[in-house]
């Protein structure tokens, strides 16, 4: 479905890839991986009780599991949220709705 979605082409897609690189740089500066940053950001939200992370085998869970121990301050969250404000919203149909 991504191949037929305008959300994954052209300027919109390039803008989101730039955002990913900014987030990757932020994660690296904090000595964590980008997936760890994403999980830590999600579970630092008081409305979130758990992050469901997929893995192909148990070894793939080592780094994501460490994200539970990564504290994000309100200043960290504000900085990440400011970066995310630049994201291009994906408005197309969900993958499961595609033929």
Domain span holding position 91: 2-97
Count structural domains, the chain.
1
CA distance 68 to 27: 15
Give the dihedral of Cα atoms 19, 4, 98, 1; nearest 10 deg: -50
The one-digit pLDDT tens for each residue of the chain (99 residues) are: 566 666 666 777 788 889 999 999 999 999 999 999 999 999 999 999 888 888 888 888 877 888 888 989 999 999 999 998 877 676 666 666 665
Task: Enter the pTM of the model.
Answer: 0.77
């Amino acid at each position: 479905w991504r191949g037929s979605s305008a959300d994954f082409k052209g300027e919109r897609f390039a803008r989101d890839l730039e955002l990913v690189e900014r987030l990757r740089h932020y994660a690296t500066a904090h000595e964590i991986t980008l997936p760890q940053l994403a999980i830590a950001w999600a579970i630092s939200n008081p409305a979130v009780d758990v992050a469901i992370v997929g893995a192909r085998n148990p070894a793939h869970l080592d780094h994501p599991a460490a994200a539970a121990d990564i504290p994000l301050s309100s200043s960290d969250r504000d900085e990440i949220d400011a970066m995310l404000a630049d994201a291009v919203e994906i408005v197309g149909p969900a993958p499961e709705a595609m033929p």
